[in-house]
Structure 1
Amino acid sequence: MSYAIIGFGKIGRALARAFARSGIEVSVATTRDPESFASDAASIGPTIVPRTLADAVMADTIFLAVRFESYPEVARALPTWEGKTIVDVTNAYGVPPEALGGMPSSKAVAQAFPGGRLVKGFNHLPAAVLEKDPAVNGGKRVVFLASDDNGAAAEVGALAEKLGFSPITLGGLSEGGLLVQARGNSWGQLIFKDLVTFGR
């Protein structure tokens, strides 16, 4: 299984640190030349590999950690996303629901990645929290996941556990997934909830 993070701002770097802590190799990419952020990637760890966007999207599981308005540009990188899992880490705060056809933001993102299996996740924590070691006082920091594909949610949940987190699945994108999606100028109820589980 191969992994990539698209976007190398605060959230992308926080995710990269989680991969580095666990010794799992992950490609990182932006729309810029990889040389422009190679030193930043190297400072996180040797398993963080700068790549072009075209190379990074060859990964099996892709974390979409760009600004929400940039997801269509990433989606155009491939004609089909068949066989790939997209982890939507974006937040559509401030985007009017009517601009998304009334759909939850992750549904709009899913439509842009034809053939891909979309999981909403890792987006409810600020970068400063997400980048910290998820082992907290003998427990594990929670990440919420939502998907219309149970198999994809299970795969991302297993990865979250390898990264040291405690995954909690909320159900479909239009049901429990609304708890971790912004709509207009309102945040989902679970966004910013920094929870820890014990005894799992």
Structure 2
Amino acid sequence: MSYSIIGFGKIGQALANAFARKGIQVSVATTRDPEAFASAAAAIGPTVRPAKLADAAKADIIFLAVRFESHPDVAKALPSWQGKTIIDTTNAYGVAAETLGGQPSARVVSQAFAGGKLVKGFNHLPAAALGQDPAVHGGRRVVFLASDDDAAAAEVGALAETLGFAPIKLGGLSEGGLLVQARGNSWGQLIFKDLFKFS
């Protein structure tokens, strides 16, 4: 299984830290040349590999960690995303409902990545919290997941567990997914909730 993170801002770097902590190789890419952020990637760890966007798009599981407005540009990297799982970490805060056609933002993203399996996740925490070790006080930091594809949600849930998080599945994009999505100038009810699960 191969992994990549497209977008290397605060959220992308927080995710890269999660992979580095576990010694798992992950490609990181932006629309810029890899040399532009190679030193930042190296500072996180040796398993974080700078890549061109086209190469990062070849991974099996891809974290979409760009601004919501940039997702159509990333989607053009491949003619089809068949067989790939895309984890949508974007937040469409401030985007008018009319712009989204009245749909949840994650559904709009899924339509752009034709053929791919989309899971909304890892987006409810600020980067500073997401980048910390998820093992805290004997518990694990929660990440919420929503998807219309149960198999994809299970796959991402397993990855979240491997990275040390406690995944909680919320159901489909139009139900539970709304709890972790911005709508216009308001946030879903679970956004910014930094929760922990204890065994």
TM-score, normalised to structure 2, is: 1.00
SS across alignment from 1:97: coil
Which 5+ residue runs of structure 2 have no aligned equivalent?
none
Question: Is 1:97 aligned with 2:97?
Answer: yes
| Residues 86-125 of structure 1: pairs in structure 2 closer than 5 A | 86-125=86-125
Question: Is 1:178 aligned with 2:178?
Answer: yes
- Compute the displacement of 1:12 (Å): 0.2
Question: Is 1:136 aligned with 2:107?
Answer: no
**Residue-by-residue CA offset, 1:93-112 (whole Å, 9 max, x unaligned):** 00001101000000000000
| Residues 50-65 of structure 1: pairs in structure 2 closer than 5 A | 50-65=50-65
Between the aligned partners of 1:173 and 1:53, the Cα distance in structure 2 is 26
Q: Counterpart in 1 of 2:69?
A: 69
How well do the aligned residues superpose, as a CA RMSD in angstroms? 0.3
SS across alignment from 2:193: coil
- The letter for the 1-side match of 2:141 is R
**Residue-by-residue CA offset, 1:50-108 (whole Å, 9 max, x unaligned):** 00001100000000000110000000000000000000000000000110100000000
Between the aligned partners of 1:56 and 1:198, the Cα distance in structure 2 is 35
Q: Counterpart in 1 of 2:36?
A: 36
- Compute the displacement of 1:180 (Å): 0.2
Q: Counterpart in 1 of 2:12?
A: 12
Between the aligned partners of 1:56 and 1:141, the Cα distance in structure 2 is 27
Question: Is 1:153 aligned with 2:153?
Answer: yes
**Residue-by-residue CA offset, 1:115-142 (whole Å, 9 max, x unaligned):** 0000000000000000000001000000
Which aligned runs of 4 or more in structure 1 are off by greater than 6 angstroms? none
Aligned-pair identity in percent equals 77
Between the aligned partners of 1:181 and 1:192, the Cα distance in structure 2 is 11
Q: Counterpart in 2 of 1:23?
A: 23
Between the aligned partners of 2:115 and 2:132, the Cα distance in structure 1 is 33
Which 5+ residue runs of structure 1 have no aligned equivalent?
none
SS across alignment from 1:155: helix
Between the aligned partners of 2:161 and 2:88, the Cα distance in structure 1 is 18
- The letter for the 2-side match of 1:190 is L
Q: Counterpart in 2 of 1:197?
A: 197
TM-score, normalised to structure 1, is: 0.99
**Residue-by-residue CA offset, 1:135-157 (whole Å, 9 max, x unaligned):** 01000000000000000000000
- The letter for the 2-side match of 1:107 is R
Q: Counterpart in 2 of 1:167?
A: 167
